[in-house]
Amino acid sequence: MRSKRCCVMADEVLPGQGLRVQRRLPGPPEHAFAAWTQPRLLARWMSPFGSADAEVDLRVGGAFSIVMHGPGQDIRHTGTYLELEPPHRLVFSWASPYTGQEPSRVSVYLVASGADETQLTLVHDRLPAAQVESHQGGWGQILDHLAALLTDGRTGWT
């Protein structure tokens, strides 16, 4: 069941090789940004299966690694931070066995919305055309886990 404080705003496939997913999340952009950039928090939500390991070197040019653990499989994702504007924007490359020869790119925008809410817009581009739909579904599940984490309140930033 989705939290009453989180909702799908709009998901769409973009022309070419990309997608956009939007969510309204509980809490300020600072909390959402922390969830995207702190390894202990990333590990709690950054997987459609629910568990992951994360390593982060949070600086432009710094690398990250996320291993999503699923039923009978581990899927490693790596990337490099291309732009960081705390707490409103992060852009990073994204490579996995499903993103083709060249890394794809993920841009995350976090905007304060109303009283203690954040509008998140995620744009994932440079994907192989055959992978856009599966990534859209995966990001939808992952962002639902992020919303649950932010709703839970046991994150350690208070």
Residue 46: inside a domain, yes or no? yes
Q: Can you tell me the mean pLDDT for 131-153? A: 90
- Total structural domains within the chain: 1
Separation between Cα atoms, residue 67 and residue 60, nearest integer Å: 21
Residue 156: inside a domain, yes or no? no
Question: Which residues, including other chains, have CB under 8 Å from residue 152's CB and lie 6 or more apart?
Answer: none
Tell me the pLDDT tens digit for each residue of 146-156: 999 999 866 55
CA angle 40/43/48 to nearest 5° reads 160
What dihedral angle (degrees, nearest 10) is formed by the CA atoms of 50, 56, 60, 62? -120
Tell me the pLDDT tens digit for each residue of 26-55: 999 999 999 999 999 999 999 998 789 999
Q: Any idea what the CATH number is for the domain that residue 116 is in?
A: 3.30.530.20
- pLDDT level of residue 99 (50, 70, 90 thresholds): confident
Range of the domain at 92: 7-151
Separation between Cα atoms, residue 132 and residue 82, nearest integer Å: 21
pTM: 0.87
Residue 2: inside a domain, yes or no? no
